[in-house]
């Protein structure tokens, strides 16, 4: 985090996302403020609240991608949720507190995977020792014959070298493994059993004895199974859970998409199941509360919330005032131009053209795009967006897929060939569909 200055964060985001500099700048500052807060004295640290962000703009312009790349860059727990899947408490739908439980689950997995990699070398050594015991069982009784002991030791050393070098990978051994598959338990509840904070799966697994079975597996597979078992023994789950909860509370990021879907005029009759009622349920989570999870209590006071929405029909001011106040930073993202489409096709590290080139190379088919072809693809996508629903950069996926449909279908038979795609080819494949607006509504 020391090296992730706001400028560096924006530079890294630029590798994957075209344009939207204001949004990148806002999230970079928000991320840096998390680091700055950790440097403050303890009494002041608790007083500094995260500055939550609302991103406003049409679909397909990079809102979700900015938040996702930011979390990956900072290596912090990140969860994307849709506001529209939550309903007012007491109705069928997910309880809003479940977003914090899901975030905690992700953090535990993240820390556990990190700790597993840390102990991997030791776990592999222990797994190899167990395999050597299977291949060359130790003597049942101690012997005074030192020469025999030395011979067994030498044989074991040679076996270990062959095992480490992978020369015994295909040899079969009989391995006793634990059967961790538990029967599924379904519980029906109107308000969601997750509120009770009980992990029924774990509870039943402790009540029922674990079954083990013997099976014959190749040494390569046996080594993987035993390494996992030994790594699990080396992990301190209590420490992992404490670290995970700390990560969630101090570094966690929740991205709430489709916030505009729960904004609007309050229902005049009956409960407001999926609009203002949901906003009022989300409010305490964003304000700061304590949520019960199966790992313990998690405070949400310093979790960073990034909300997003198109706000075509409604506007941010339609949200309840209390919720508006919890998202002090508002960033308007601009619609993508034809020039942006050209850049999206070629410049990012995961650019769409690079993806298709790599995919077809697996069939030994080389394709190359001329500059005028890229301009034509961008122009076609932009034209379809204007004529029908504007879905931003996602339109490029449908245009590219339709244009390369025949090449992708015939690729196995074209192995070893080189195909050049120019503007004329793009027009030939797409012009008929783009011109017929009624057809594009269904095909593109």
198: DSSP letter: -
Q: Residue 262's domain spans which residues?
A: 6-110+242-332
Residues 202 and 267 grouped into a single domain: no
**Residue 362 pLDDT exceeds 90:** yes
Across the chain, how many H-helices and E-strands are there? 19, 11
Determine, yes or no, domain membership for 142: no
Of the residues 169, 201, 234, the one at which a domain ends? 234
Band (171; pLDDT cuts 50, 70, 90)? confident
Same domain, 297 and 369: no
Sign (positive or negative) of CA dihedral 419, 421, 424, 429: positive
Check which CATH number belongs to the domain holding 342 and give it: 1.10.8.60
Q: How confident is the model at residue 188 (pLDDT cuts 50, 70, 90)?
A: very low
Could you tell me which residue, 362 or 277, shows the higher pLDDT? 362
| Number of domains forming the structure of the chain | 3
Dig out the tokens for 242 from the structure.
């404490």
Q: Are residues 328 and 252 in the same domain?
A: yes
Question: How far apart, in whole angstroms, are the C-alpha atoms of residue 391 and residue 385?
Answer: 7
Instruction: Confirm whether 442 is domain-assigned.
Output: no
The structure tokens listed for 118 are 């840390």
**pLDDT score for 139:** 60
Q: Indicate whether 23 belongs to any domain.
A: yes
Instruction: Using pLDDT thresholds of 50, 70 and 90, give the confidence band for residue 153.
Output: confident
Average pLDDT over residues 16-27: 89
Q: SS3 for 178?
A: strand
The helix/strand/coil state of 440 is helix
Same domain flag for 359 and 399: yes
* pLDDT confidence of residue 11: 92
Does 438 reside within a domain? no
3-class secondary structure, 135: helix
Summarised one tens digit per residue, pLDDT across range 285-334 is: 999 999 999 999 999 999 999 998 888 778 888 888 888 889 999 998 88
Share the mean pLDDT of the chain: 82
What pLDDT is stored for residue 305 in this prediction?
A: 92
Contacts 24+ apart (CB under 8 A), 146-152: none
Strands 329-332 and 53-56 turn out to be parallel
- Residue 415 inside a domain? The answer is yes
Considering the domain architecture, whether residues 227 and 289 belong to the same structural domain is answered as no
Residue at which a domain ends, from 277, 297, 332: 332
| Inside any domain, residue 169 | yes
Last-in-domain residue among 213, 234, 255: 234
Domain assignment of residue 444, yes or no = no
Query: Same domain for 162 and 71?
Result: no
pLDDT greater than 90 at residue 241: yes
Residue 225 shares a structural domain with residue 251: no
74 and 165, same structural domain? no
CATH (domain of 105): 3.40.50.300
**pLDDT-derived band of residue 189, with 50, 70 and 90 as boundaries?**
very low
Q: Taking 80 as the threshold, does the pLDDT of residue 183 lie above it?
A: no
**How far does CA 230 lie from the centroid of its chain?**
27
Tell me if 440 is assigned to some domain.
Answer: no
Q: Do 328 and 342 belong together in one domain?
A: no
β-partners of residue 80 are 255
- Residue 444 CA to residue 439 CA, distance in Å, equals 8
Residue 103: per-residue pLDDT: 93
Give residue-wise pLDDT tens across range 369-411: 999 999 999 998 888 888 777 888 888 988 899 889 989 999 9
Question: By percentage, how much of the chain surpasses pLDDT 70?
Answer: 83
């Amino acid at each position: 985090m020391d090296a992730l200055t706001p400028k560096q964060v924006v530079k890294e985001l630029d590798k994957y996302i075209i344009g939207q500099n204001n949004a990148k700048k806002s999230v970079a500052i928000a991320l840096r403020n998390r680091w700055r807060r950790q440097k403050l004295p303890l009494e002041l640290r608790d007083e500094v609240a995260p500055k939550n962000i609302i991103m406003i703009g049409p679909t397909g312009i990079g809102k979700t991608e900015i938040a996702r790349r930011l979390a990956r860059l900072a290596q912090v727990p990140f969860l994307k949720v849709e506001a529209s899947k939550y309903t007012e408490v007491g109705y069928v739908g997910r309880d809003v507190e479940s977003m914090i439980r899901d975030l905690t689950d992700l953090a535990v997995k993240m820390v556990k995977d990190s700790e597993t990699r840390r102990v991997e070398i030791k776990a592999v050594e222990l797994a190899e020792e167990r395999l050597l015991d299977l291949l060359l069982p130790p003597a049942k009784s101690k012997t005074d014959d030192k020469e025999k002991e030395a011979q067994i030791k030498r044989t074991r050393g040679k076996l270990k070298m062959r095992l480490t070098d992978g020369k015994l990978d295909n040899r079969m051994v009989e391995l006793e493994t634990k059967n961790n598959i538990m029967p599924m338990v379904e519980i029906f509840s109107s308000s969601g059993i997750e509120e009770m904070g009980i992990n029924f799966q774990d509870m039943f697994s402790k009540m029922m004895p674990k079954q083990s079975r013997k099976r014959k597996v190749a040494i390569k597979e046996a080594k993987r199974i035993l390494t996992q078992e030994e790594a699990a023994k080396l992990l301190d789950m209590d420490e992992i859970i404490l670290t995970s909860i700390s990560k969630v509370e101090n570094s966690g990021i929740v991205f709430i998409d489709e916030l505009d879907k729960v904004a609007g005029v309050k229902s005049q009759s009956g409960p407001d199941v999926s609009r203002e009622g949901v906003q009022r349920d989300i409010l305490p989570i964003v304000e700061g509360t304590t949520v019960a999870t199966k790992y313990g209590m998690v405070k949400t006071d310093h979790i960073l919330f990034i909300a997003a929405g198109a706000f075509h029909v409604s506007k941010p001011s339609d949200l309840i005032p209390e919720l508006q106040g919890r998202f002090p930073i508002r960033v308007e993202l601009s619609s993508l131009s034809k020039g942006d489409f050209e850049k999206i096709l070629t410049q990012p590290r995961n650019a769409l053209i690079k993806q298709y080139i790599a995919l077809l190379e697996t069939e030994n088919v080389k394709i190359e795009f001329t500059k005028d072809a890229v301009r034509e693809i961008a122009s076609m996508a932009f034209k379809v967006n204007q004529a029908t629903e504007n879905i931003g950069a996602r339109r490029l996926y449908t245009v590219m897929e339709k244009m390369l449909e025949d090449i992708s279908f015939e690729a196995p038979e074209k192995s070893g060939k080189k195909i050049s795609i120019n503007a004329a080819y793009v027009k030939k494949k797409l012009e008929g569909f783009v011109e017929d607006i009624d057809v594009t509504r269904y095909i593109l």
